[in-house]
Structure 1
Amino acid sequence: MNIHKEGRALLAVLFSILLGLNLGLFFLLNIPSHWTGIIGAISLILFLFFLQFFRNPSRKIEMNDKQILAPADGKIVVIEKTTEDEYFRGKERIQVSIFMSPINVHVNRNPVTGLIKYFKYHEGKYLVAWHPKSSTENERTTLVYQIHKGVEILVRQIAGAAARRIKCYVQENQSVIQGKEFGFIKFGSRVDLFLPLDAVVKVEIGQVTQGGQTIIAELA
């Protein structure tokens, strides 16, 4: 199992703390063996939870310049026409939102190959990720990909009630490749896509996605 770089230091510290706690209870306090077994089991479960959260599985990406791939693992919670004010200045777009639970892989991947035309980080609140206002009021990062002249899609990383750290590894005027990692969100969150109106959506509400694998939409 590959472990994401965002989790390596945390996992090392957590392992040291849990190991020290269990050794201290066993050798110093001399508590009954059945209690040391219970505490050891709880410690193991806790460590495995964090371990699976920071997993970074290898993905074989089939690149296609007509397809928009899922930027995240999770579940489709929104598909609707709406207006986007930050970059598209109130123009109507198709919004597709993916909710990422704590058990999902939290690596974010470029949905297309193109140029990062716009990048902005926003401080904000920590409403639950499925709250309607989380897209505009929560801590978030907005990226706009220019695929070719006149065709742009917007991707927004959104922090949730538990996800309080968004990492983004790209910047404006950087060329990126479809399926490659562009960021990471810790502990439950959401990713929104704003697509051209003539894009053909290929997913449905409740569908489970895999980052870099699931086809979200096809461009006209």
Structure 2
Amino acid sequence: MKMRDTFLKPMHPEGRKFVAIFAAVTAVLFLVSSVLGWIGVGLTVWCYYFFRDPVRATPVRDGLIVSPADGVVSLIEKAVPPAELGMPDEALTRVSVFMSVFNCHVNRAPVAGRIAAIAYRPGKFFNASLDKASSDNERNSLCIEMADGRKIAVVQIAGLVARRIVCFSATGDTVKTGERFGLIRFGSRLDVYLPDDVHPMVSVGQTMISGETVLADLTSDEPPRSARAD
């Protein structure tokens, strides 16, 4: 890998108009004050960086569930998937990944399968790291049916700053593990509801890489993991 590739990442097309707006405002700010102009340059670079879409090396072994988002595991608990997906009203293990405004916000499919349902629900904009964000905030939920018939729910949740959830997929589409399916603009969270009796292989506070970090293994009988913070 070239040194240039370490710092310059591809930008997702969704970000082009935002970077253009930031750049245009920056040009106007330079007419007012050079100090304000350079602040605008910094914000434009940040906007570009926010919409980065780096290449990821997704593990391809059958049974692996990967993280759908960059960020930090903020919650692991039992919860019922969103009712609008039509899944059984039973509590499953939910792993929440919180994305700050500095994380890559392109979302990737945690497993391969067919998208059995997609449901959008408007809501509030609490801090996405809070537990009540899962039930109260604006969200877009997907149910992915795997080849063995088991289903996984993955939910895009808007946060305190986020005001736009984008989903590139449609009901009936087939996705591969790690394939891009959406993004959320400016800070948010992803929830993954694991199938019954599947334990997460991550811990609260762990840093996740979308499309790369193994969140769980459908073929493993390993008990839930614990972690030590150093």
- Aligned-pair CA distance for 1:2: 0.7
- Aligned-pair CA distance for 1:190: 0.5
Letter in 2 for 1:103: F
Query: Any residues of structure 2 matched to 1:28-43 within 5 Å, and which?
Result: 36=34, 38-43=35-40
* Conserved? CA contact 1:198–1:219, under 8 Å: no
Structure 2 CA distance for aligned equivalents of residues 195 and 144 of structure 1: 11
Structure 2 CA distance for aligned equivalents of residues 71 and 83 of structure 1: 19
Q: What SS is found at the alignment partner of 2:78?
A: strand
TM-score normalised per structure 2: 0.86
Letter in 2 for 1:72: A
Query: Any residues of structure 2 matched to 1:70-219 within 5 Å, and which?
Result: 70-84=67-81, 86=83, 87-219=86-218
* Conserved? CA contact 2:22–2:43, under 8 Å: no
* Conserved? CA contact 1:65–1:112, under 8 Å: no
Larger Rg: 1
After the TM superposition, which segments of 4 or more aligned residues of structure 1 sit over 4 Å from their partners?
none
Structure 2 CA distance for aligned equivalents of residues 82 and 165 of structure 1: 25
Q: What SS is found at the alignment partner of 1:41?
A: helix
- Number of aligned residue pairs: give it: 209
Structure 1 CA distance for aligned equivalents of residues 79 and 119 of structure 2: 21
> Partner residue of 1:3?
11
- Aligned-pair CA distance for 1:54: 0.9
Q: Give the structure with the higher percent strand.
A: 1
For structure 1, the 5+ residue unaligned runs are 26-34
Calculate percent identity across the aligned residue pairs.
38
> Partner residue of 2:49?
52
Structure 2 CA distance for aligned equivalents of residues 8 and 85 of structure 1: 32
Root-mean-square deviation over aligned CA pairs: 1.4
Structure 2 CA distance for aligned equivalents of residues 186 and 206 of structure 1: 23
* Conserved? CA contact 2:79–2:92, under 8 Å: yes
Q: What SS is found at the alignment partner of 2:24?
A: helix
Is 1:20 the counterpart of 2:28 in the alignment?
yes
For structure 2, the 5+ residue unaligned runs are 1-8, 220-230
